[in-house]
Structure 1
């Protein structure tokens, strides 16, 4: 009975996990303007694609075959009219309620409409600055749950790219404690980039994702965003005139339960390990999947049909 209850809890947690997995993306190889693509996606799926992180960018790129002659495809980002300060690290689970709104601006800041990136000084105060300024910067490393100071001068965009490639992202500062931690890493009159930036772009589905993956020197004039396919800029975003004819990405809300999805298999391993520890196993017990001959963690067996005469 105890094991049955525990299994039910595991499966309930698995259901909750799968209900919040990334949406399903769809590559539509038909040429449409951004507005036409938006209408198509809303009629046939949920909306033009909203993107939360680099993993979702990679999933979208895997959908693109070779049966097209275009260098990019529309996504659901368009230029809006209102400006908003937000964090480069867009993972909603990283922020507790209200923590993404923490600010430590110096008096009179932000002060300039043309200064759209934020840095922190050795006093722990924040200032807005031109994103093209060359500064040292602070990354956040999610695997070690720590800030990393990088003493190399880069523009804000270059610093963002570096942090995403080497760690997790530019640093988000959610509390006074984290602000003090970064302050203690600085010396003298040093100022460093953090992950706060301002823009006026919005998602078609009114999503709150602050994730951006622009090419260098972009956006520079277009009002609608497209995901690039070519090797030099693969997965990065370009701004285009919204009337340009391009293929596009839609998304479907919700998630399809897949036992092979890494999030699902990792979740099950964690729950099994927890159950073993509760039953007396050492806390450093290592639990891994035994791979099937085809490389999958699980094999699905078809249930044999029971003949009417054999049913008990």
Structure 2
């Protein structure tokens, strides 16, 4: 009985968390670091999300602003997301890089391509010094977790 109560509370907390986050489109072109600083001073952080509900809200924000090109987002290079059923391997793209080439420091900043044919967005790890508009959010900060899949012999 206690286990069921705990699980219900956790699911309710997740739904409340998703509804509390507000996204803001900033139509000012900055490099990734400057966009991150701007969001942290004026909002909570550069946009990030944990689930499909948050991604839909994010998509509506940019669509409502009438913008349909590239924007900076605050996504982390996280192998955990590769195993979530709602987001597949084709979701992440690497500009000027082959599929077998490993990620380098040059590719740690993430942009989203609005109105792409992939799911809601296509994401790219690219040069952080390029300038794009960006999306900030207000709400609870997403914790920084890293998940790795290791094969033990």
In structure 1, C-alpha distance between the alignment counterparts of 2:39 and 2:137, rounded to whole Å: 7
Structure 2 residue runs of 5 or longer lacking an equivalent are 1-8, 141-153
* CA apart distance, 1:236: 2.0
- Does the alignment pair 1:228 with 2:106? no
Over the aligned positions, Cα root-mean-square deviation in angstroms equals 3.4
* CA apart distance, 1:60: 0.9
In structure 1, C-alpha distance between the alignment counterparts of 2:102 and 2:115, rounded to whole Å: 18
Is the 8 Å Cα contact of residues 18 and 54 (structure 2) preserved in structure 1?
no
TM-score (norm 1): 0.32
Match of 2:150 in 1: none
Deviation by residue 1:256-295 (Cα, 9 ceiling, x = unmatched): xxxxxxxxxxxxxxxxxxxxxxxxxxxxxxxxxxxxxxxx
The alpha-carbon distance between structure 1 residues 231 and 21, as it changes in their structure 2 partners (threshold 3 A), is: closer
The alpha-carbon distance between structure 1 residues 20 and 228, as it changes in their structure 2 partners (threshold 3 A), is: same
Superposed, which structure 2 residues align to 1:232-251 within 5 Å?
232-233=117-118, 234-251=120-137
Is the 8 Å Cα contact of residues 35 and 134 (structure 2) preserved in structure 1?
yes
Is the 8 Å Cα contact of residues 116 and 122 (structure 2) preserved in structure 1?
no
- Does the alignment pair 1:64 with 2:62? yes
* CA apart distance, 1:54: 2.5
In structure 2, C-alpha distance between the alignment counterparts of 1:58 and 1:226, rounded to whole Å: 16
Match of 1:45 in 2: 43
In structure 1, C-alpha distance between the alignment counterparts of 2:116 and 2:79, rounded to whole Å: 31
- Does the alignment pair 1:20 with 2:17? yes
* CA apart distance, 1:219: 8.4
Query: More helix by proportion, 1 or 2?
Result: 2
Match of 1:77 in 2: 75
Bigger Rg, structure 1 or 2: 1
Runs of 4+ in structure 1 over 3 Å off: 16-19, 65-68, 84-87, 215-221
Structure 1 residue runs of 5 or longer lacking an equivalent are 1-12, 90-162, 171-196, 198-211, 255-312
Length, aligned pairs only: 118
TM-score (norm 2): 0.60
Match of 1:214 in 2: 92
